[in-house]
Amino acid sequence: MPSQKNSSEGAGSVLATVSGPSTGKLPGSLVSGKAIPSDLLQKVVGTAAITSAMPNNPNKAAEYGDAADTPPQGATVEPPSPAVTGSTVSETNASAKVGSGNPPQGVNATIESLDRVRVDSGGQHLTTNQGVAIADNQNSLKIGLRGATAMEDFILREKITHFDHERIPERVVHARGSAAHGYFECYKALTPMTKAAPFAEDGKQTPIFVRFSTVAGERGSADTVRDVRGFAVKFYTDEGNWDLVGNNIPVFFIQDAMKFPDLVHAVKPEPHFAMPQASSAHDTFWDFASLMPESTHMLLWQMSDRAIPRSYRMMQGFGVHTFRLINAEGESVFCKFHWTPVAGTHALAWDEAVKICGADSDFHRRDLWEAIEAGAYPEWELGLQVFSEEQAEEFEFDVLDSTKLVPEEMVPVIPVGKLVLNRNPDNFFAETEQVAFCTAHIIPGIDFSNDPLLQGRIHSYLDTQISRLGGANFHEIPINAPVAQVHNNQRDGMHRQAIARGRVSYEPNSLGGGCPFQAGAMKGFTSYPEPVTADKVRGKAERFADHYSQAKLFWKSQSPVEQTHIIKAFRFELTRVQTQAIRERVVSLLANVDDVLASGVAEGMGFPVPPPAPNISTLPEHTYEPSPALSMMSYPGTDIKTRRVAILIAPGVDGVMAKAVYTSLVDAGAVPRFVSNNLGEIAAAKGAALHAEISIEAGPAVLYDAVVVPDGADSVAALLKNGQAIEFLKEQYRHCKPILVMGAATSLLEKAGVPLMLPSGEVDTSIIGPDHADIKAATAAFIDALTKHKELARETDPPVV
């Protein structure tokens, strides 16, 4: 072959994209500037060099036998220049759209903070989605002022078409939700037990996004229904996204994912008339549950106050399943995840929850948003229950059974970090609605157990996101994108955002210099090599068959008032069931838990307790001691931050007193509101006039955690004639909330029929004022009462007030 110096031989193959000579040398560099651009020649020569440097796949042997236990790092070749592995040599041509002409190397530029996609239109004119300025946004294009609308009106068509497609399919479950950004901070590195990134260093902070939700209701349902609450946390770690997708209850209804569609179909509105919405109080749910005795434990949780939390900020969260932690040496332990709210665990009364549904169906959503806007950032402590496989084998229950929990008396909860929510989303749809959680999203240091419910969720969550968010590229939606770099050979599909550079979309390769290459065992995710020797079967392990021991544990661990609430909840739900056989079947399950529980429910239903349902377990029943951690009363919280307090006022109020209480409450972190019959200026008998912040109609009693009625003869006289004010006090009393009345305002208690003594004959310490002449001392006592749990000792059945 002739010398390549100053030769154009082979230039045609360099300039073409199909075929090329199999012999000879590539054109020399001096040809550049003539027939072949220098950057193209550089690309072709460099491509030949890196492919020649990899004559075979040196790692192939590592895929087989014992060598597969420790996959090596992928083989690579360093390209002589960035152009070699690029898609096109024209990538250096810059514009406002394609970029600077200096494409990033080894970086996924789509993974940045959400600032890159935030939009603010201040001071800007309207445009179409293509950026064309809109002159008239009031009128469609017509043939004459009274003529037909022209089909050529592309501005109208774009606007209407986009509007028609603004809604995406809602989640099958957990459709109703609210979310916020924040961070997780690790107290101390957990490297002896896990190499997971969030736990790698003392004080390390990991950005997170948390979504709370109800399970059964549709997207437009109310917040305060009786339901399980989702507690899903997306950790944007520096080693990829980890989704801890849990609930506010540590157990579940079923043991195997095979039954999940049945459960959801049963609890959803009945298909023939689509009722009831966001409620389990109907025949199909209780028919299913009564035929699934393994659900008994979960049913007690669902009928407890846990299912009607006062706030998302005041409920616990649990990972539900048993997971694995794996350290750098490949050693594994089992783990349960617990979130405990700093604000304590508090609940709504059922009567209160029902009325809130009408007064403010967005009660929990509003509460979360307002707390963050106010700077009272919600906070939880993360605790771990860690135990070995050997310990798990000694338990009388199976840790792979999601209807069971691990009592804290057996395995203590170790505090390891805190979660703080400190930023509300910019856009509900773009973030809260489009966020995609998936139990399959784990990172090195975290792994699955063989829990059959978890195993099914691993598939289900990924599958549903593909359907709901329009395809396999939902991970490119900004809220779902990780902060860790993404590099793989996945391509195309609906709504693809990333524009992959280069011609290579497979591995192994040589044309891309071997990149992207597998990370190897030291850096990449490797599953725990759990040895398994068993037949393929459909069934459950023997220890799964104990359906009542832990239900008994939960019942025994509740306070007497909490037990009463559980009985009343069962009564309410089953009263709405039409089919008598279903009611009796449910009570037959409860008969295996506790006689008082079963008889209390049956009595309310008007029939005797039926024989207990068959207990199918062949193992001896285990008896647990009560576990205080299972009662909400164990977590009262420490302050009154964001607690809502109504201050009822009317003309003639003691303005000095009202303002003093208001100021003290604000200083303590509460949210007081002056509530009056109407908005406007309220003349005060003492001090300057007050300004009503909300009317008693717009802000009824159920929306507040406590009430204050200041002194003032004329004000009290007006309130005594106001039926809504009297009812306000009645509801605050009936829902066991603190009440502060000063001076003449004590007469309102008598008018409302509110006793100063508890049914037990003891003094009601949550009614403050009659024995306090000093407003400062009274306010301090009121704040102290508000810090604690409700005064549940007031409750009688039926209510006396």
Sorting pLDDT into bands at 50, 70 and 90, what band is 7?
A: low
pLDDT of residue 772: 67
> 712, 685 in Cβ contact below 8 A?
yes
- Amino acid residing at 636: P
Distances (CA, A) of 721 to 128, 652, 748, 752: 58, 14, 10, 11
**Residues 491/505, Cβ–Cβ less than 8 Å:** yes
CB 44 within 8 A of CB 81: no
683, burial (CB in 10 Å: exposed 0-12, middle 13-18, buried 19+): middle
pLDDT value at residue 29: 47
pLDDT at 23: 77
Residue 142 has pLDDT above 50, yes or no: yes
Which stretch of DSSP H or E encloses residue 767?
A: strand 767-768
Runs of H (alpha helix) within 396-548: 452-468
- Cα–Cα distance measured from residue 740 to residue 732, given in angstroms and rounded to the nearest whole number: 11
Q: What is the mean pLDDT of the chain?
A: 93
pLDDT at 9: 67
pLDDT at 206: 96
Query: Quick check: 366 pLDDT over 90?
Result: yes
Task: State the Cα angle at 625 between 623 and 631, rounded to 5°.
Answer: 125
Strand ranges inside 83-141, DSSP E: none
CA separation for the pair 179, 330 (Å, rounded): 35
Angle of CA points 4, 10, 11, to nearest 5° = 100
Task: Quote the pLDDT of residue 133.
Answer: 87
| Confidence category of residue 166, pLDDT binned at 50, 70, 90 | confident
Q: Is the pLDDT of residue 773 over 80?
A: no
Two tokens at 58? 């040196």
User: What CA–CA distance (Å, rounded) separates 285 from 265?
Assistant: 8
Condensed to tens digits (0 to 9), the pLDDT of residues 328-347 reads 999 999 999 999 999 999 99
Q: Where are the beta strands (DSSP E) in 688-756?
A: 690-692, 694-695, 706-709, 739-741
Residue 191, number of CB atoms within 10 A of its CB: 14
Q: Are strands 690-692 and 680-682 parallel, antiparallel or unpaired?
A: antiparallel
Nearest Cα neighbor of 101 from 114, 115, 116, 89 is 89
| pLDDT at site 98 | 76
Residue 4 has pLDDT above 50, yes or no: no
Active centre residues (catalytic): 174, 247
Q: Pick from 792, 800, 796: which is nearest to 738 by CA?
A: 792
pLDDT at 649: 97
Residue 32 has pLDDT above 90, yes or no: no
Are 570 and 303 a contacting pair, CB within 8 Å? Answer: yes
Kindly state the average pLDDT of the residues 357-366. 96
pLDDT of residue 8: 67
Q: For the chain, give the percent of residues with pLDDT over 90.
A: 75
pLDDT given for residue 1 in this prediction = 33
pLDDT of residue 2: 37
Mean pLDDT value across residues 751-770: 94
How sure is the predictor about 28, in pLDDT bands with cuts at 50, 70 and 90? low
Least confident of 46-55, 90-99, 669-678: 90-99
Higher pLDDT, 171 or 521: 171
CA distance linking residue 699 with residue 693, whole number of Å: 10
The model's confidence at residue 34, banded by pLDDT at 50, 70 and 90, is low
What pLDDT shows up at residue 163? 87
φ/ψ of 682, rounded to 5, equals: -115, 110
Is the peptide bond between 516 and the residue preceding it cis, with omega within 30 degrees of 0? yes
DSSP 313-339: GGS-EE--S-EEEE-TT--EEEEEEEE
Confidence of residue 259 (pLDDT cuts 50, 70, 90): very high
Would the pLDDT of 476 be above 90?
A: yes
pLDDT of residue 501: 87
**Mean local confidence (pLDDT), 719-732:** 97
Of the ranges 157-166, 361-370, 538-547, which one carries the lowest mean pLDDT score? 157-166
Cα 544 to Cα 402: distance, rounded to the nearest angstrom: 9
**31 has a pLDDT exceeding 50:** no
Q: What is the tens place of the pLDDT at every residue in 208-231? A: 999 999 999 999 999 999 999 999
CA nearest to 661, candidates 792, 768, 791: 768
Q: Mind listing the pLDDT tens digit for each residue in 595-636?
A: 999 999 999 999 999 999 999 998 888 999 999 999 999 999
pLDDT tens column, 413-431:
999 999 999 999 999 999 9
What was the pLDDT predicted at 402? 98
Residue with token string 């106001």:
722
Least confident piece of the model among 52-66, 266-280, 627-641: 52-66
Q: Are 550 and 294 in contact (CB under 8 A)?
A: no
Write the secondary structure of 657-684 as one string of H (helix), E (strand) and C (coil): HHHHHHHHHHHCCCEEEEEECCCEEECE
Please state the rounded mean pLDDT for residues 349-378.
96
Mean pLDDT over 307-326 rounds to 98
**Contact indicator for 484, 506 with CB cutoff of 8 Å:** no
- Tokens standing for residue 18: 């199909």
| Number of H-type helices and E-type strands within the chain | 19, 20
Average pLDDT over residues 307-330: 97
